[in-house]
Amino acid sequence: MFYLLLTASILFIISFSSGHFWSLISSFQSTCTDPQLQRHLNIQRWCSTYKRDMNITNWDLRPSYFMIVDDRHKVIYCMIPKVACTTFQKLMARSLTNDTINLTRIHFVGFINSLGMRFLDKYSKKDRELRLQTYFKFTVVRHPFDRLLSAYADKFANPGRNMMSVAHLQKRAEMRFGNFTRFDEKGKPLLSLNQFLELVSRDREFHDKHWQSYHDLCQPCAMNYDHVIRLETIDNDIGPVLEHLNYTRPETGDKQENSRRNVSNKLVEVNYHFRRLNPGIMNGLLQIYARDFQLFGYSWSYAAGAGCVNRTGNGMCC
């Protein structure tokens, strides 16, 4: 395990310090390619390099309850918490019924099953493999640090009804930072963003699906996704998913929320918070999320993360 980690960090340091990895990406960009194809090639390339360097013989899939299957439309979606996953679950639900459906219980397994969706880990190995080979598989990602900001906001800065679920995390916080008041007088948990990031980067027990890496949650090397949506460019990217879901009705509700996301504001926010971060914490975070940055072509500075979208106006990236 230690060696694995060590190698991972070395690989990581090499690829970042020499700019090797990023030059790979830009070499893809130097010829005109479809952004989706570029993403696909990038993931394949990353997986084969990583497989070789880590002596991995096979990418065995660990099917999970993050992978949701729609047998009617032959679609598999890997949900990443804090990356529009409720929006996409709802979209899938609507595509199986109609827009009048009451989606209050969208997070309940029974409700999801009642609509004809199941989780991949509930199928036999044989049925799973059949689906993995023939279905349209997609996932949705966003800049990993933007996701961390969002997770912090939800869990700590503005937890609302989720307050109980942070108890375990607060305990870890107390162990690291000593005896401080857990909640302010209004019952809001007190943990600064820097403390949160320090815990994420240094404490393995401070673990939660809302900041678990994309690589672990959705296993892109084993899944070989047909389509990857970036939240930053969702309007450009969502088309094929709607097609496969046979969803032709105009977008409602949640979609509008996503369009309101302003990428340049996000850029400012991520840079503002992460540039001033203690270098030790920053290194820790970069190591934890190195695979996600590399797999999905993000750079820690948000600007590059937005990537090339339809730069030429003809749908190509040059």
Q: Which of 100, 124, 133, 256 binds ligand NAG (CB under 6 A)?
A: 100
Are the C-beta atoms of residues 93 and 87 closer than 8 Å to each other?
Answer: no
Instruction: Indicate the burial class of 198 (C-beta count within 10 angstroms; 0-12, 13-18, 19 or more).
Output: buried
Binding of residue 58 to ligand NAG (CB under 6 A): no
The tokens describing 38, both together, are 């570029």
In the complex with ligand NAG, the residue whose CB is nearer, 20 or 105, is: 105
* CA dist., res. 299 & res. 310, Å (int): 19
Q: Which string of x and - marks every residue 79-98 that binds ligand NAG (by CB under 6 A)?
A: ------------------xx
Residue 244, φ and ψ in degrees, nearest 5: -65, -30
Residue type, 207: H
In the complex with ligand NAG, the residue whose CB is nearer, 93 or 148, is: 93
Are the C-beta atoms of residues 230 and 307 closer than 8 Å to each other?
Answer: yes
Q: Which string of x and - marks every residue 227-256 that binds ligand NAG (by CB under 6 A)?
A: ---------x---------x-x--------
Binding of residue 48 to ligand NAG (CB under 6 A): no
Compute the least distance from the CB of residue 261 to ligand NAG, in Å: 9
Which secondary structure element, helix H or strand E, spans residue 233, and what is its range? none
Q: Which of 102, 124, 133, 256 binds ligand NAG (CB under 6 A)?
A: 102
Binding of residue 57 to ligand NAG (CB under 6 A): no
Binding of residue 113 to ligand NAG (CB under 6 A): no
Neighbouring CB atoms inside 10 A of 58's CB total 8
Compute the least distance from the CB of residue 259 to ligand NAG, in Å: 9
Tell me the residue nearest to ligand NAG as measured from the CB: 315
Dihedral angle over CA of 236, 240, 241, 246, nearest 10: 130
Q: Which of 104, 124, 133, 256 binds ligand NAG (CB under 6 A)?
A: 104
Binding of residue 124 to ligand NAG (CB under 6 A): no
Binding of residue 114 to ligand NAG (CB under 6 A): no
In the complex with ligand NAG, the residue whose CB is nearer, 278 or 310, is: 310
Q: Which of 54, 153, 303, 318 binds ligand NAG (CB under 6 A)?
A: 54
The tokens describing 309, both together, are 């979208």
Which is nearest to 295 in space by CA: 129, 120, 144? Answer: 144
Task: Name every residue whose Cβ is closer than 8 Å to that of residue 269 and which is 6 or more positions away in sequence.
Answer: 146, 149
* CA dist., res. 138 & res. 129, Å (int): 16
Binding of residue 133 to ligand NAG (CB under 6 A): no
Return the range that interacts with ligand NAG (CB under 6 A); candidates 99-107, 160-168, 208-216, 300-308.
99-107
Compute the least distance from the CB of residue 247 to ligand NAG, in Å: 8
Are the C-beta atoms of residues 27 and 297 closer than 8 Å to each other?
Answer: no
Neighbouring CB atoms inside 10 A of 228's CB total 24
* CA dist., res. 82 & res. 150, Å (int): 7
Q: Interface with ligand NAG by CB under 6 A: which residues?
A: 3, 7, 54-55, 97-98, 100-102, 104-105, 179, 236, 246, 248, 262, 264-265, 310, 313, 315
